[in-house]
Amino acid sequence: MQATTTTLDAEAEAPPVNSRNKVIVASLIGTAIEFFDFYIYATAAVLIFPHIFFPQGDPTAATLQSLATFAIAFIARPIGSAVFGHFGDRVGRKVTLVASLLTMGVSTVLIGLLPTYETIGIFAPILLALARFGQGLGLGGEWGGAALLATENAPSNKRALYGSFPQLGAPIGFFFANGTFLLLSWLLTEEQFMTWGWRVPFVASAALVLVGLYVRISLHEAPVFTKAVKAGKQVRMPLGTLLSKHMKVTILGTFIMLATYTLFYIMTVYSMTYGTTPEPKGLGFSRNSFLLMLMIAVIGFGLMVPVAGYLADAFGRRKTMITITCLMIVFAMLFPYMLGSGNQALVMGFLVLGLSIMGLTFGPMGALLPELFPTEVRYTGASFSYNVSSILGASVAPYIAAWLTANYGLFYVGVYLAAMAALTLIALLLTKETRHQSLG
């Protein structure tokens, strides 16, 4: 009788557990919405913003200024990871995920409502930069929380597979961001598209954010975090603890993500700039045709993400990532022969191959980075490594690649990618296998 009573008491005290389907949907839908919001800016920064938010005269200067506002979000992301990570490790994963989604949503809608340079002059790019900073803050807190939501609720032998679901938000968000612009450009005249059509995806994203909030509010807190709270394992300043006690793994995590970021933003933002620039400086493809090519190629990205998660569970995170990173170095040598060919079939093959490798390298990150850190600083640690890497890898990649192309040629864009992959390879070789690491 006593044993029965004790069992019932333990069951009553056990924290509620999220169902598998709820974990998958909540981790995926939030990141998909956040990445959709983030990528519609990336597309607009190349195709639209240089013409409406900056002084006209030198088209190249306007494009570079627009790409500079694109990079502002990457400066904001580590700040967002520190702020949201603090509350994620102190207050809880659930409430922080809701706050990060709201931050991104409000910033994105504001971009869609901004007046242009013709209307308010220099204040237009200033307000655009501030709204972009807000997007960066939101995404800085989003990814780490979504990855923890998936991995802290996953069976230990399927953590990388579960961790791949928030990673799917990136290709899904990218696909629909580009698809939305492509559809609008088909339905509207050029004047309509440039005057008001581009605003539609930014403002309409508010509806998606409401859906994401509804799903996330229904979640229970992760049992691992609840257990840590009851055991009094929370720390007062997660970022301070991270940098004083876990600096080595923070640096390793940052460099592990470096090649992934560099590859993605070269394959998307830079390739779109190069592909749509008139010959002889670019390939001279039309905006719509290149957007369609990217949409097709990103399907390979999405398909490879869960494949990589499965492989990381089967063979280990370290071995899987080392193999994929070596593959990326080989791919980097193909830039002048495939992208530089100007042949549509070869360019299409280049985009599919590069973004498929992107899926393979991105998939295991949802498990690998959280597994590097203990529960009390896991949100802050995973987010901080992920987002500091975005400054080193993503924010400057389109700019550096464009500069290398203009001054030295496409071959050196490949050399740049290979160099970033080599740094990632060194970090992986210095990192211990985390497949059997307990998250408790």
Omega into 223 within 30° of 0, i.e. cis? Answer: no
pLDDT of 17 reads: 65
pLDDT over 70 at 2, yes or no: no
Domain boundaries, the chain: 20-429
pLDDT band at 255; cut points 50, 70, 90:
very high
pLDDT over 80 at 268, yes or no: yes
Please compute, for residue 242, the number of CA atoms within 13 A of its CA located in the half-sphere on the CB side. 27
In which residue are the tokens 């005290």 written? 13
Task: Give 3-state DSSP helix, strand, coil % of the chain, rounded to 5.
Answer: 85, 0, 15
In which residue are the tokens 């970021």 written? 261
Average pLDDT on 92-117 reads: 91
- Assign domain 20-429 to its CATH superfamily: MFS general substrate transporter like domains (1.20.1250.20)
Average pLDDT on 243-254 reads: 96
Instruction: Please say whether the beta carbons of 182 and 383 come within 8 A.
Output: no
| Helix-then-strand count for the chain, H and E | 23, 0
CA separation (Å) from 166 to 28, 58, 196, 352, 396?
4, 40, 32, 21, 24
pLDDT of 72 reads: 86
Three-state SS at 15: coil
Distance CA 415, CA 422 (A): 10
pLDDT over 80 at 60, yes or no: no
pLDDT digits 0-9 by tens, 17-28 = 677 778 888 888
Distance CA 332, CA 262 (A): 11
364-368-76 Cα angle (round to 5): 95
pLDDT digits 0-9 by tens, 123-142 = 988 999 999 999 999 989 98
Distance CA 20, CA 399 (A): 41
pLDDT of 334 reads: 97
